[in-house]
Amino acid sequence: MVESFTFGRFNHQKLDFKLWIAILWIVGVGTVFLWQRYAIDGFRIFGRTSVGPLPQMRPVAFNLTDFGGVGDGVTLNTEAFERAIAAITKYANRGGGQLNVPAGRWLTAPFNLTSHLTLFLAEDAVILGIQDEKYWPLMPPVPSYGNGREHPGPRYGSLIHGQHLQDVVITGHNGTINGQGQTWWVKFRRKLLNHTRGPLVQIMWSKDIHISNITLRDSPFWTLHPFDCQNVTIKNVTILAPIFEAPNTDGIDPDSCENVVIEDSYISVGDDAIAIKSGWDQYGIKYGRPSRNILIRNLVVRSMVSAGVSIGSEMSGGVSNVTVENIYVWNSRRAIRIKTSPGRGGYVRDINYRNLTFDDVRVGIVVKTDYNEHPDGEYDPKALPILQDISFTGIHGQGVRVPVRMHGSDEIPVRNVTFRDMSVGITYKKKHIFQCAFVEGRVIGTIFPAPCENLDLFDEHGQLVKKSVSHNMTDIDYDF
């Protein structure tokens, strides 16, 4: 309506016919727009502007309390979330809507997102996952896994879930999504669960997903699981779970996803901080969707049970074109790991690691080719993964027991590995700390510790200094 007031100040004589048509069009569209807003939410149209100082990123914004939400940590808010998201669904073709979750503790059962939605968590807003598994719907297994990851058959859905969406933003002023995973971890360890646990946030078959400026904590299972998605950005998030006894609480698992950026974040969890995946054995091979074009940078990560940044072990759809840079891994069991096994098929290739700092980690760089967990007995042991074209540049740190353990095998050799500019301070022994088996590749310049003899040595100018006698020598020692 603002437009017609503005034009009212002009001399009408000078407005030509086209401009009048344009004004009529704007007034007409505006009237229809307002009428639709009234039709959907009646008298609440003007009350909605009470959302206060939060930034508004969509044409309309709602407050969870508008839908009966009660943030007392006890009242169940599932219906409030569902009603709010249903209301926003109606704005899909008008730029979508924003749902503000104010400060408070908002207990909920799992709910589904919609497209063109911004879920905004105010400072001190906490979405709490209900712990009673009766409230968690069962869903078919992820198709590229064939079975639930922990049990055959269906698996629990995620606390916050979405399928076939586009343009979803989850952000805020560092509000929290808390899965209250403690009861799930205990039940899992006591073998009281009959189905695979649910992730905290799982978005499947979707595109244009942005997650930023929030905290995710205590997921029952993997924390953030984008599956078969395109254009996913995860920025400035904090992901937390206890570093021990929080089984499988991976931080972020991009799974059969393309065009993913994960940056400027802090992750300390009970399993891999990041694990790039693409399906499991025969199911992943059949589904056939790789994870590719993935950029991971500027992270501080910690994992006492698994590793900082992993690829696999489920990688049967292939993983390629991954850049991992400016990563600080502290107080961890492993820093970087590629894990696979016979039966996986697929490939891991064109993987570039740059500027990694390891501070107090047991094993820095790990390749493991006998990670023998399988979905069932039907996998093909002759489906051998390919590992090649992997480079490490600018690897530094201190307090590392075993800087490198690349354990290829006769069946799954590791090909075309490059090391350049590496100096890692060691703590334990001076020998057998750059361990290799069935590894082919090169070192450019001098590195510390001295590389295994499987690698060719080149000088800084790329001139061959010493050719490896054999790529197949084995110097793997798991005793330290």
Ligand X SMILES: *[C@@H]1O[C@H](CO)[C@@H](O)[C@H](O)[C@H]1NC(C)=O
Handedness of CA 205, 291, 370, 345 (dihedral sign): positive
Annotate 414-433 with DSSP letters as a single string.
EEEEEEEEEEEEESS-SSS-
* Nearer of residues 253 and 359 to ligand X, judged by Cβ: 359
Do the Cβ atoms of 314 and 280 come closer than 8 Å?
yes
Could you say which DSSP state residue 448 is in? B
* Nearer of residues 1 and 469 to ligand X, judged by Cβ: 469
Q: Which of 75, 174, 183, 474 is the binder for ligand X (CB under 6 A)?
A: 174
**Residues in contact with ligand X, shown as a per-residue x/- string from 44 to 83 under the rule CB under 6 A:** ------xxx-x--------x-x------------------
477: annotated active-site residue = no
Least Å distance, CB 243 to ligand X, is 14
Long-range contacts of 54-57 (CB under 8 A, 24+ apart): 54/100, 54/120, 54/122, 54/173, 55/120, 56/98, 57/98, 57/118, 57/120, 57/169, 57/171
238 binds ligand X (CB under 6 A): yes
**Residues in contact with ligand X, shown as a per-residue x/- string from 2 to 41 under the rule CB under 6 A:** ----------------------------------------
Q: Is 1 exposed, middle or buried (0-12, 13-18, 19+ CB in 10 A)?
A: exposed
Q: Which residues contact 179 (CB under 8 A, 6 or more apart)?
A: 129, 159, 200, 216, 217, 218, 219, 220, 223
110 binds ligand X (CB under 6 A): yes
183 binds ligand X (CB under 6 A): no
Q: Which residues contact 143 (CB under 8 A, 6 or more apart)?
A: 283, 287
List the catalytic residue out of 271, 272, 359, 389: 271
* Nearer of residues 182 and 326 to ligand X, judged by Cβ: 326
Task: Please give the single-letter amino acid code of residue 297.
Answer: R
Least Å distance, CB 240 to ligand X, is 7
Structure token pair of residue 88: 């926003």
Strand, coil or helix: what is 470? coil
**Residues in contact with ligand X, shown as a per-residue x/- string from 417 to 446 under the rule CB under 6 A:** -x-------------------x--------
Residue (of 297, 292, 345) closest to 320 by Cα position: 292
Strand, coil or helix: what is 265? strand
Least Å distance, CB 208 to ligand X, is 6
Q: Which of 186, 192, 450, 464 is the binder for ligand X (CB under 6 A)?
A: 192
Q: Which of 323, 393, 398, 474 is the binder for ligand X (CB under 6 A)?
A: 323
- Catalytic positions are 271
Q: Which residues bind ligand X (CB under 6 A)?
A: 50-52, 54, 63, 65, 100, 102, 110-112, 122, 133, 137, 139, 157, 161, 163, 171, 173-174, 192-194, 207-208, 212-213, 215, 230-231, 236, 238, 259, 264, 293, 295, 321, 323, 326, 328, 355, 357, 389, 391, 410, 413, 416, 418, 438, 470-472
